[in-house]
């Protein structure tokens, strides 16, 4: 399956992170594990691939640009570089998580010395898509890292990172993009005339290029429409049909993310009213938000997002309207 992330050489924003990494590489002062954190769609995976190509090219330059025509790029793009591995869920075989056997393959990968005499590099995309067993197996590697090993560990949710992983990594926090930057970016990718409710898409993107691109797709618009109905107090949305739709469409992640954004917006609206009664509402909204996140992330971690749990998430979201 094609992966445009590993092929692209474009990295927009967060230049301070690239400058820091470039200085660390050229000064030969690399940490063994970097945690690339921040919401989805900020270029974390693109950055990880840029770093890997630059390091494995074994060259010193003023920037990290490695042309796609170079040998190291071609090897990485074809998944054939002997000193490079990626851990990600197997979408082709409909796997929802990174499984422990994949982490064991990674351990075996690091048991061999680098073929080209430099580093052996692993990109983990992402930590949020690992269950407790695969996470524990990963922890064993980064607790006692093999010589010349280098990890780029991507996480989209800082609250789900266990302390033992966080303490062994150097955290690089990626910042969100402004609405103006998001709008300019979208104009380079599509005709604005074809986008329904551009302002809402920009707001829902939450500062993420990746999310903005996802939201302009037709099936994502359908998810957004269903969320609108769900957050309408007198909606006739069939909750059981919605649960079935989320399972069929494989869009539960997007549904969860947009629902949390919607709740956050409601919290901000109540906060602006500056009334004691509204403060009670805000506290209850935060409580429901925490419950939703706990159910979702624990379900992901233990590979247990079954029909019943998905319905519980939907009912919690619906409950928030009656606070």
Indicate the Cα dihedral angle 183, 231, 315, 249, nearest 10°: -50
> CA–CA separation, 209 vs 219, rounded Å?
18
296 against 107, higher pLDDT: 107
Predicted TM-score (pTM) of this structure: 0.77
Span 143-197, pLDDT tens digits: 999 989 999 999 998 878 889 999 999 999 999 999 998 988 888 877 666 666 7
Span 62-108, pLDDT tens digits: 889 999 999 999 999 999 999 999 999 887 877 778 999 999 999 99
Phi-psi domain of 105 (left: phi exceeds 0; alpha: psi -120 through 50; beta: other): alpha
> CA–CA separation, 14 vs 2, rounded Å?
26
Structure confidence at residue 219 (pLDDT) = 81
Query: Is domain 4-173 annotated with CATH 3.40.50.300?
Result: yes
Report helix, strand or coil for 322: helix
177 neighbors 213 (Cβ within 8 angstroms): no
State the DSSP code for 36.
Answer: E
Structure confidence at residue 302 (pLDDT) = 75
39 against 301, higher pLDDT: 39
Structure confidence at residue 221 (pLDDT) = 80
Structure confidence at residue 193 (pLDDT) = 62
156 exposure class (CB count in 10 Å sphere: 0-12, 13-18, 19+): buried
Span 21-56, pLDDT tens digits: 999 999 999 999 999 999 888 999 999 999 999 999
Per-domain boundaries in the chain = 4-173, 217-322
> CA–CA separation, 124 vs 89, rounded Å?
10
> CA–CA separation, 288 vs 147, rounded Å?
45
């Amino acid at each position: 399956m094609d992966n445009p992330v590993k092929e692209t050489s474009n990295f927009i924003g967060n230049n301070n992170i690239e400058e820091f990494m470039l200085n660390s590489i050229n000064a030969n002062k690399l940490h063994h594990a970097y945690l690339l954190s921040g919401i989805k769609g900020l270029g974390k995976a693109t950055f990880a691939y840029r770093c890997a190509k630059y390091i494995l090219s074994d060259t010193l330059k003023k920037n990290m640009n490695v042309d796609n025509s170079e040998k190291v790029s071609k090897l990485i793009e074809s998944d054939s570089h002997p000193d490079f591995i990626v851990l990600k869920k197997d979408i082709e075989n409909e796997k929802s998580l990174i499984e422990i056997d994949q982490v064991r393959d990674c351990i075996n990968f690091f048991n061999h010395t680098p073929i080209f005499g430099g580093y052996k590099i692993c990109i983990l995309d992402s930590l949020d898509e690992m269950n407790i067993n695969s996470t524990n197996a990963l922890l064993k590697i980064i607790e006692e890292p093999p010589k010349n090993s280098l990890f780029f560990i991507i996480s989209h949710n800082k609250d789900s990172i266990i302390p033992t992983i966080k303490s062994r990594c150097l955290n690089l926090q990626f910042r969100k993009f402004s609405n103006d930057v998001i709008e300019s970016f979208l104009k380079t990718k599509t005709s604005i005339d074809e986008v329904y409710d551009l302002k809402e898409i920009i707001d829902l993107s939450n500062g993420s290029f990746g999310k903005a691109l996802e939201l302009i797709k037709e099936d994502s618009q359908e998810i957004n429409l269903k969320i609108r109905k769900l957050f309408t107090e007198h909606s006739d949305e069939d909750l059981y049909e919605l649960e079935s739709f989320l399972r069929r469409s494989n869009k539960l992640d997007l549904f969860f993310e947009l629902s949390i954004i919607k709740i956050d917006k409601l919290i901000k609206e109540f906060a602006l009213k500056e009334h004691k009664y509204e403060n009670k509402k805000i506290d209850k909204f935060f409580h429901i938000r925490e419950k939703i996140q706990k159910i979702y992330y624990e379900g992901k971690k233990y590979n247990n997002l079954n029909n019943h749990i998905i319905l519980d998430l939907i009912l919690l979201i619906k409950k928030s309207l009656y606070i």
